[in-house]
Structure 1
């Protein structure tokens, strides 16, 4: 009886992952140009309407800190944990050399991370794999969860992941594709506003420990230089990713 039970559980788990794989790897029909435009406008509204942005910015912060963590690991640093705060700020702690290319790359990754993530999502979504993008984002959130070190960060990641799971498991494919376009547009557009906010805070003298100022300390290039680079990269991702989505 126990063996049969174990076999049944394994079969159920196998069926679940098999269905997930089929959904994630099946190309969906491209939406109409009107749908692409509407999803872009919805994402733009989320970014420019400040009360909505204050909530949605937590998603950008997750991508920001996740980018720090991924690049830190790729550069051979050890990840000590990630914190997400209710004011939409965050902190990623990694261990390794205090200076050098690895530290520079880790510090640089944060502000460009959401835009680069959006660019990758745009490439896949524009080729019919929007549903796959949603599943990849969900997997990324699960992997990120083990590195979260505070309760608000845990809540942010769990809520975001739960919403993604509801979309990917229960909505029709057409709705999933539309959500994928909206999320992709949001990542591309939402990557730009934090860079503008960063310079505004720096101008007021309130961001002396920002990534731009850390990079200035590491490279002796002025913080404004790094803000401009952040802006150019995120705008470049928006233009290129947007052209893919419109096409």
Structure 2
């Protein structure tokens, strides 16, 4: 097991990497598929809030995930200051940055390590979950990863790992676009209270919410470009007919 975890595994063929990337992109763009797959993004989003809250010395009360793919992470501490700002900032940037981390591991041939790291992160999040739907969502995701990492052959493991990395990279931008669309609707309705992460950050820092949305999008786009370069297949061996 230690040899598998610390060793390297071969990447799938170039055409399979391209096919998996197209499948991940289609999952993000197709509305019905996205609604189901977005639960994975929400797990990463709330996990990011929770991790940074702990790292900045805040007391974590727990995470709740809901069937509409929304979530909430509750922590206690100073209602202002760097810790609160970093905690609010972490949510939208975590999924694309996690995708970039996965891409770096896969580029180094660490497929098994990437899968087991995913399981460890899901296990840590599960401990923090405080509602039934959230627990079921994390358990279901973890069960799929465990089944692939334990029972599947090397080729299927590679395909699944690349699919997960591509999905997180492509999925980083869509929630940000949805966030800004919701903010526009609330502003048009003259809502008195905008509760998004961007608006919480605006309240904490005085920097407009749109600036934070732009930062979220820039991080997602940057992670996609960098991760795409890492995951891009080696086509030097392709023979043109």
TM range (shorter): over 0.9
Q: CA deviation at 1:143?
A: 1.2
What residue is the counterpart of 1:4 in the other structure?
A: none
Matched, 1:164 2:150: no
Matched, 1:101 2:82: yes
TM-score w.r.t. the length of structure 1 is 0.90
Q: How far does the alpha carbon of each residue in 1:165-221 deviate from its partner, in whole angstroms, 9 at most, with x for none?
A: 110011001110111000000011111100000000101007810000000000011
What is the rounded CA distance, in whole Å, between the counterparts of 1:24 and 1:185 in structure 2? 21
Q: CA deviation at 1:131?
A: 1.9
1:240 to 226, 230, 238: 226
1:209 to 188, 195, 203: 195
1:154 to 125, 130, 135: 135
Q: How far does the alpha carbon of each residue in 1:65-113 deviate from its partner, in whole angstroms, 9 at most, with x for none?
A: 0000111111111111000000000000111110001100000000000
What is the rounded CA distance, in whole Å, between the counterparts of 1:143 and 1:70 in structure 2? 9
Matches within 5 A, 1:86-97: 86-97=67-78
What is the rounded CA distance, in whole Å, between the counterparts of 1:175 and 1:75 in structure 2? 38
Matches within 5 A, 1:121-200: 121-200=102-181
Q: Secondary structure at the match of 1:91?
A: strand
Q: Secondary structure at the match of 2:73?
A: strand
Q: CA deviation at 1:30?
A: 2.1
What residue is the counterpart of 1:11 in the other structure?
A: none
Runs ≥4 in structure 1, deviation > 6 angstroms? none
Aligned length: 228
Matched, 1:68 2:68: no
* Runs of 5+ consecutive residues of structure 2 not aligned to the other structure: 234-241
Q: CA deviation at 1:132?
A: 1.2
Q: How far does the alpha carbon of each residue in 1:210-233 deviate from its partner, in whole angstroms, 9 at most, with x for none?
A: 000000000011111100000001
What is the rounded CA distance, in whole Å, between the counterparts of 1:197 and 1:72 in structure 2? 24
